[in-house]
């Protein structure tokens, strides 16, 4: 029953996200600089980007990011793409987000969506949530939840979109 509900949720999410012509200009906060930036301006034009949405309290989120991060060097040898994360923690947890990222040695951009404005803009409700943005700045793939190994499916889609 859980798998059926997850599949239905994914289909519904896919419909609402793919209905958008452009990425939202919803403001997120760069955790390192403290500056607010429009989400749609965080992407490098002409380059595929993988985005993991997560929270400090979400164990599967942390596992997914850890697994992706471990494979990034190998993946980036084969495919030129960008990677970033967006925390959906509340603003008072910004320090936790920063300290967790630093303790994990993150060397990629990470943002926080402290009021869940971006979550609402992208029409998803739970984390982990993954999107791939294509070279044209459009959402080309999305996935809700995480099971060990799904990062390989995500990477296959990145390779396909990077050609």
For 67-114, write each residue's pLDDT tens digit: 999 999 999 999 999 999 999 999 999 999 999 999 999 999 999 999
Output phi, psi for 5, to 5 deg. -60, -40
- For residue range 23-74, what is the model confidence (pLDDT) as tens digits? 999 999 999 999 999 999 999 999 999 999 999 999 999 999 999 999 999 9
- For residue range 114-137, what is the model confidence (pLDDT) as tens digits? 999 999 999 999 999 999 999 999
The residue among 17, 27, 20 whose CA lies nearest residue 115 is 27
Tally of structural domains, the chain: 1
Q: Which domain holds residue 94?
A: 2-162
Round to whole Å and give the CA distance between 124 and 110: 19
CATH number for the domain spanning 61: value is: 3.40.30.10
Length of the chain: 163
Q: What is the pTM of this model?
A: 0.87
């Amino acid at each position: 029953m859980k798998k059926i509900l997850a599949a239905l949720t994914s289909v519904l999410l896919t419909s609402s996200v793919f209905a958008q012509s452009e990425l939202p200009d919803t403001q997120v906060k760069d955790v390192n600089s403290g500056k607010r930036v429009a989400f749609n301006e965080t992407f490098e034009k002409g380059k595929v980007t993988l985005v993991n949405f997560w929270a400090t309290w979400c164990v599967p989120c942390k596992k997914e990011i850890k697994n992706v991060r471990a494979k990034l060097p190998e993946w980036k040898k084969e495919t030129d793409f960008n990677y970033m994360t967006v925390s959906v923690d509340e603003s008072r947890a910004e320090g936790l987000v920063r300290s967790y990222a630093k303790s994990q040695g993150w060397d990629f951009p990470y943002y926080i969506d402290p009021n869940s404005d971006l979550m609402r803009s992208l029409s998803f409700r739970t984390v982990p949530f993954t999107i791939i943005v294509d070279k044209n700045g459009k959402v080309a793939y999305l996935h809700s939840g995480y099971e060990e190994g799904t990062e390989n499916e995500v990477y296959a889609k990145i390779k396909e979109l990077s050609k």
